[in-house]
Amino acid sequence: MKESYLGKIERAKKSICDAEYVLIGAGAGLSTAGGFEYSGEKFDKYFKDFEEKYGFKDMYSGGFYPYKTDEERWAYWSRYVYINRYLETTPNKAYSKLFELVKNKDYFVITTNVDHQFQIAGFDKEKLFYTQGDYGLFQCSVPCHNKTYDNKELIETMYFKQKNGLVPTELIPKCPVCGRNMEMNLRADDRFV
């Protein structure tokens, strides 16, 4: 007889409860399971002006759009990061449920997710390995060195000061070492830190 979906979940819970160590591998499906979407109501609420100007229909596509200026690109990225990383601090239900299962265990997480949901749900930062980067960090675009930089303060400033789909030029993040532009700390090519 084929095991039901709920049966599989109960068996998985028991396995976790009985385990001495837990290794978690997670991808975009975990965020999606908790309700995170790149299109739909959230996109319409925060990015309608970008859709009208550039034609893309979801947040993900906006990250790859070939903006003509850094002011446009950072208007998009600052809004995207502010909305998805700093504005929403309520834990995603899928992450919260997973944390409840492992919080008293010796666990480690390997994830491709860059949305900070593990930490929002209570997972220890020292037990997380983000293989694709983190929305909360900048890196040098070259990169001239391997350090990353917290971006919260500058992202918030860019978000609140953008007008007509542009951030002020003086807010475009610059590398403190070489002076070139900073980038999001996201795995996009061989320059990922």
Determine the Cα–Cα distance for residues 95 and 122; give it in Å rounded to an integer: 9
Whole-prediction pTM: 0.87
Question: Domain boundaries in the chain?
Answer: 5-135
Tens of pLDDT along 142-192? 999 999 999 999 999 999 999 999 999 999 999 999 999 999 999 989 999
Using CA atoms in the order 80, 86, 90, 96, what is the torsion angle rounded to 10 degrees?
Answer: 90
Position 130 scores a pLDDT of: 94
Over residues 113-125, the mean pLDDT reads 93
Over residues 39-66, the mean pLDDT reads 95
Q: How far is CA 117 from CA 65, 90, 135, 162, 168, in A?
A: 25, 9, 11, 26, 30
Count other C-beta atoms under 10 Å from residue 25's C-beta. 11
Q: How far is CA 100 from CA 12, 70, 117, 119, 136, in A?
A: 14, 42, 14, 13, 24
Over residues 6-20, the mean pLDDT reads 80
Determine the Cα–Cα distance for residues 176 and 166; give it in Å rounded to an integer: 23
Position 17 scores a pLDDT of: 84
The encoded tokens of residue 147 equal 């350090």
User: What angle in degrees, to the nearest 10, is found between the helix axes of 70-81 and 41-54?
Assistant: 180
* DSSP for 159-188, written as a single string: HHH-BTTB--GGGS-B-TTT-PBEEEEE-S
The mean predicted confidence, pLDDT, of the chain is 92
Identify the band that residue 92 occupies on the pLDDT scale cut at 50, 70 and 90: confident
Position 37 scores a pLDDT of: 85
